[in-house]
């Protein structure tokens, strides 16, 4: 049975557990509570800089790791009363975020990794 069939049977709703984090200014970030083993391994490589070229800076690998986690874990983000829930719009909004917004997301991701995935090193 493929993924489409499973979604049809389940009503297309993602049943993975989620956690909601309150961000400054009343914003909310909803993060998925599950990550496959292969995704965890891919994150470890991204966070360590293995996938980056030798000339890539450590900070660049750090930013890629944060974006990787956001892309895999974020299921919803409410910013200034506007809700983002589609994967594409979430990533576009994250890339357009101010430095304060990115910092708030980073803090929430760190907390979420510590609580939900303690074996992973937070960026």
Residue 112's pLDDT band, with cuts at 50, 70 and 90, is very high
What percent of the chain is predicted at pLDDT more than 90? Answer: 64
Confidence at residue 6, expressed as pLDDT on a 0 to 100 scale = 47
The residue ranges of every structural domain in the chain are 17-116
- Which residues, at least 6 apart from 73, have a Cβ–Cβ distance to it below 8 Å? 31, 32, 35, 109, 112
Helix axes 58-73, 99-116, angle to 10 degrees: 70
What percent of the chain is predicted at pLDDT more than 70? Answer: 81
pTM: 0.80
Long-range contacts of the stretch 37-46 (C-beta < 8 A, 24+) = 39/72, 40/117, 40/119, 40/120, 42/68, 43/68, 43/69, 43/72, 43/120, 44/120, 44/121
Length of the chain: 123
- Per the rule left: phi > 0, alpha: psi between -120 and 50, beta: everything else, 4 is alpha
* Terminal alpha carbon distance of the chain: 36
Residue 71 has pLDDT above 50, yes or no: yes
Confidence at residue 95, expressed as pLDDT on a 0 to 100 scale = 95
Confidence at residue 2, expressed as pLDDT on a 0 to 100 scale = 54
- Radius of gyration in angstroms for the set of CA atoms belonging to the chain, rounded to a whole number: 15
Strand pairing partners for 85?
none
């Amino acid at each position: 049975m493929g993924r489409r069939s499973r979604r049809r049977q389940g009503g297309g709703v993602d049943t993975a557990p989620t956690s909601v984090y309150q961000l400054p200014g009343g914003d909310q970030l909803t993060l998925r509570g599950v990550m496959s083993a292969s995704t965890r391994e891919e994150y470890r490589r991204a966070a360590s800089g293995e996938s980056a070229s030798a000339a890539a800076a450590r900070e660049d690998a750090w930013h890629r790791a944060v974006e990787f986690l956001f892309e895999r874990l974020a299921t919803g983000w409410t910013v200034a009363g506007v809700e983002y829930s589609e994967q594409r719009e979430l990533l576009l909004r994250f890339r357009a975020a101010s430095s304060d917004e990115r910092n708030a997301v980073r803090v929430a991701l760190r907390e979420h990794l510590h609580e939900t995935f303690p074996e992973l090193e937070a960026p």
